[in-house]
Each structure stands twice: as C-alpha cells, then as structure tokens.
Amino acid sequence: MRSLFRSSGPSGAVGHSRVHFRLAQCVPFMIVLFALGIELSPAHAVITGPILAAVPALASLTMGPKGTFSAATGALAVTVTTATLHQSWGGQVYSNLLSLLVVSAASVTMSKAMCARRQIELDQVRRVAAAAQRVLLRPVPARLGPVRVASMYLAAETGAQIGGDLYEAAQTRYGVRMIVGDVRGKGLPAVRLAAAVLGAFREAVHYEDELVEVVNHCAAALKRECAVPSAVDRDDEEDQAEDFVTALVAQVSDGFVVQVVNRGHPPPLVLRQGKVEALMPTSPLPPLGLEEFITARPGGVESYPFMPGDRLLLHTDGVIEARGPDDEFFNLPEAMEAVHPCTRSEFLEQLHQGLIRHTGGYLADDAAMLLVERLDEEGNEVGEAAARRRLPGLPSLSARLNRAALHLAGGYRQRSLCPHVTAGGRPRVVDHGWSTAGGRPWVVERPFRSSVTFGEVPSPAKPCRAAAYADSADGSRGLNR
C-alpha cells in the first residue's frame, strides 16, 4: 500500500487560521517599513532603534531561522542606512546597533531550537498516525485467490495519513470480498465512523454467505456508532444524526464474474482491452445510515463479467470530483485508458501523478483507489502488462555466447524485439533482422521468453547474416520475406 498525502486548500476555520498566521508573519517586516518611513520623514528625530530591536524577536515567534535572519537583516540595513543618511553616528546609534545585533543573534538561535523541537514533535505525531493507519487501513495483500490487488490512499487533512475514506480486501471461503467507502465529512469524526464500518465488514465477510447481509452488518454498526455521543469529535447532535457512509462491496469467486452491492457509491470501473466501462447499478440504493429512505425492498446482488486480464478499479468520489485550476473534474476513465499497459503498481502511480498534476497538489477531499486484476484459471497474469514486466530479464548463458560469437564473426549487429499477445492470450516476441543476401528482411516469431531479450534498437544500416538465429530448438519459426 502506498500512502501519499496532500493538504487541502484553505477552507473554513482552517483557512482563517492560515490567514491570521500569514498576517502575523508580516508584522516584523511592517515594523521595519514603519521605522523606515519615520526616518525618511521630517520626524526623523524620533529614535527608532528600540523599535527595530524588537523585530528579530517578533520574527522568531512565527518564522524559522531564515525568516528571522531576513527580518534582522532588514532592521540592521535600515539602522545603518538612515544613520549614514542623516549623519547621526554617535553613542546612541552605536548602542542601538549593538542591541540589535545581540537580539538578532539570540532570536536566530532560539528560532532554530524551536524549529528542531517542533520537528521532533511532528515526527512523533506522524509515527502515531502511521500506527493508527496500519490498524485502521491494513496493507492489502498483493495476491488474494484469483486476483491481484493494489491500493492507494490520499488524505486531505494537512499532515494526516488517515481520513474518511476506507477500503479492505479479504479472502474468504466465499471468494475475495472487498469494500470501498467514503464517510461524510473528514477528520477525526470520519475516522471514528470508518473504523466502525471496517470492523463490521471484517467480521461479517467470513460467516455471512450473502453479500447483502455483509452490507446490512456494516449499516447496523454505523447506526450504533452514530447513536453514541462523542464530545471529543463534535457536539452538534443534529449534525451527528445525519452521518452516512457511501459504500461499495464486491466479491470475486472462481467464476469470471464480479458481484457488487452499491450503496450510494460511485460505480466501479472495469478496464478491458484498453477500454473503460462503468458498472452502473440497475437499482440505485441510498448510502449506509440512510435506510429510512428505502421505500421498497432493496435489490439483491448485481453481477458483471470479469474476465482474465480485466482490471477493476474501486474508488471514492475524492478521485473523480478532484478539481483543477480551471474548475474541471479529473477524468478518471480517460486516465485509465492512457496507462492501461502498465503494471499494477505503475498503474496506480500514474493515476496518482495525474491526479496531483490535475489538482496542483491540493485535494479538497480524501481519495482512495483499490485496483483488482483478474488472473486466468492457472493463476497467471494475462495481457500486455505481463509481457512488459518480463521484458527486462537477463539473457541466458547460451544466448550470450551465441551473441558474442556472432559479433566476432562480424555478422551480428543489432536486432529489435517486439512483444505482442496472441488471440490465445500467450505473449510472443517477434525478432526483425536483415540478411546480407540481397538485403532481404526476415522475421522470426517465437514464444516469449525473457532470457532472449536484449532490448536493442533496430538499424537497417547495419545488416546481419541470415544465420544469425539458427537456434530454433525452442520452437521458433523463421520467415524469409
């Protein structure tokens, strides 16, 4: 699991606090400008030395060593410049200058010590948050039954590693069961509700044979948690009564289908042969915690095809509702199609980078993604990603000896390896070369093997002999065109 965190833009009380903090940082520089204005006005007889001496001390309260040093340098520059301009060098000026130097040195030292202490406290808080994350959002195993899984989480809270989004995947006797959800709100109240839903899911998936009953257990746990008042989180009982969680629960068993129960959550996306399809629910249901709005009997589980090589992406609305500077939403299906040849880890990393580029690094809401890739009947990966991952393999000893002999003979120069996947889903590689007899090109197609890849660039200007690939013991078939 990869924990990648970005802070949200200023909003609400947090935004006001940041504005006040920025104003406090400007106070020392405003004092310097005020003193400079007095010195350049007809009232320059007023002694500004004591005022400027307070500038480094004030700067050390809100800035680090560099900012404190900059404010002290500005105060020192004003003192020296105005004394030279008015030719007022004397005992009073030297006394003010000495006081300013002493206060500046002490302020820079204190600011450095305060920054070091804050960093130690921040590191400790982050370690506690990381431990809480491992308890709440456990690392998802890379292999679960007939699927391979990868996950990613981004918290919107500044410096936080956990938030209101949740996900989990577990292998049970009924198959691989997964959940992705989004709690209303964020911060500590959202963490509390997310923990309640995840705890219910982890317990129910192992003994409930129906997927709908697993969802009902999660809804009941959420209701119980919302009924418990929490003075630490918030005091608004009316606001607390409106808590809900959008959730999507899925199950992948031995068959090539995925079963889904969607409770007000964004539909999952299936990537099949480079095209993205949204698994839209036929009968939409309200989120967990809003069961009173269900007027009829809720529908059952919905099934969708999930073939070998397909990739299922479960995500939260923090991904698709991420806005860019031009106020446009992040186009997740288009981004998935653009990076479909990548491996699972590369796939999520590319989506993460695209999300950060689109938003400029600021998330307004938590974002979570759970990627599930279906394996074939034998438990092997299928598709272009499997071929790409095996390409960088080292050549075998016989292949290296053959290559060295051809170099010594002056016949072998360069070749190109072009991996592709046949209709049967098995990767193969095509070798291209040129023969010296008339300069005719030839092609050798063989079953894909990582031990024969060199990754060189073809060059028609440097032909090779037709006997360059005489090693046909591996079942290769040569075509002379």
| Rounded Cα distance, 189 and 163, in Å | 9
268 with 403, same domain? no
Burial of 339 (0-12, 13-18, 19+ CB in 10 A): middle
296 with 261, same domain? yes
Range of the domain at 78: 10-130
* Edge-to-edge order in the sheet of strand 441-447: 416-421, 427-434, 441-447, 477-480
The contacts of residue 114 (CB under 8 Å, 6+ apart) are: 60
Domain boundary among 346, 378, 410: 378
CB-CB contact of 308 with 376 (8 Å): yes
| Rounded Cα distance, 452 and 186, in Å | 52
pTM (predicted TM-score):
0.60
Residue 50, domain member (yes or no)? yes
| Rounded Cα distance, 362 and 158, in Å | 10
Q: What is the pLDDT of residue 79?
A: 86
The closest alpha carbon to 304, from 252, 249, 248, belongs to 252
DSSP 329: B
| Rounded Cα distance, 407 and 102, in Å | 74
Residue 310, domain member (yes or no)? yes
According to DSSP, the residues that pair with 441 across neighbouring strands are: 434
CB-CB contact of 417 with 429 (8 Å): yes
Q: What angle do CA 228, 229, 234 make, to 5 degrees?
A: 135
Residue 109, domain member (yes or no)? yes
Q: What is the pLDDT of residue 242?
A: 67
| Rounded Cα distance, 29 and 330, in Å | 40
The closest alpha carbon to 107, from 45, 177, 60, belongs to 60
| Rounded Cα distance, 1 and 52, in Å | 52
Q: Which residues of the chain have pLDDT under 50?
A: 1-11, 231-233, 235, 237-238, 384-385, 387, 389-396, 406, 410-481
309 with 440, same domain? no
Q: What is the pLDDT of residue 172?
A: 92
106 with 142, same domain? no
Q: DSSP 3-state assignment of 250?
A: strand
CB-side neighbour CA atoms (13 Å) of 190: 21
| Rounded Cα distance, 437 and 435, in Å | 5
Q: What is the pLDDT of residue 463?
A: 35
Residue 209, domain member (yes or no)? yes
Residue 90, domain member (yes or no)? yes
Burial of 234 (0-12, 13-18, 19+ CB in 10 A): middle
| Rounded Cα distance, 317 and 368, in Å | 9
> Considering just the CA atoms, what is the radius of gyration of the chain in Å?
33
279 with 391, same domain? no
92 with 240, same domain? no
First to last CA, the chain: 50
Domain boundary among 100, 130, 160: 130
Residue pLDDT, tens place only, 274-326: 899 999 988 888 888 888 777 666 667 899 999 998 999 999 888 888 888 88
CB-side neighbour CA atoms (13 Å) of 385: 24
CB-CB contact of 59 with 26 (8 Å): no
370 with 415, same domain? no
Residue 3, domain member (yes or no)? no
The closest alpha carbon to 132, from 153, 114, 117, belongs to 153
Q: What is the pLDDT of residue 392?
A: 44
167 with 301, same domain? yes
With tokens 């030292």, the residue in question is: 109
304 with 155, same domain? yes
Domain boundary among 73, 108, 130: 130
Q: What is the pLDDT of residue 373?
A: 92
Residue 357, domain member (yes or no)? yes
Q: What is the pLDDT of residue 383?
A: 59
| Rounded Cα distance, 261 and 257, in Å | 13
327 with 409, same domain? no
Residue 2, domain member (yes or no)? no
E strand or H helix at 262: strand 257-263
300 with 187, same domain? yes
In the chain, the number of structural domains is: 3
For residue 245, give the CATH number of its domain.
3.60.40.10
Token pair of 415 as six digits: 């070749």
174 with 243, same domain? yes
Q: What is the pLDDT of residue 267?
A: 93
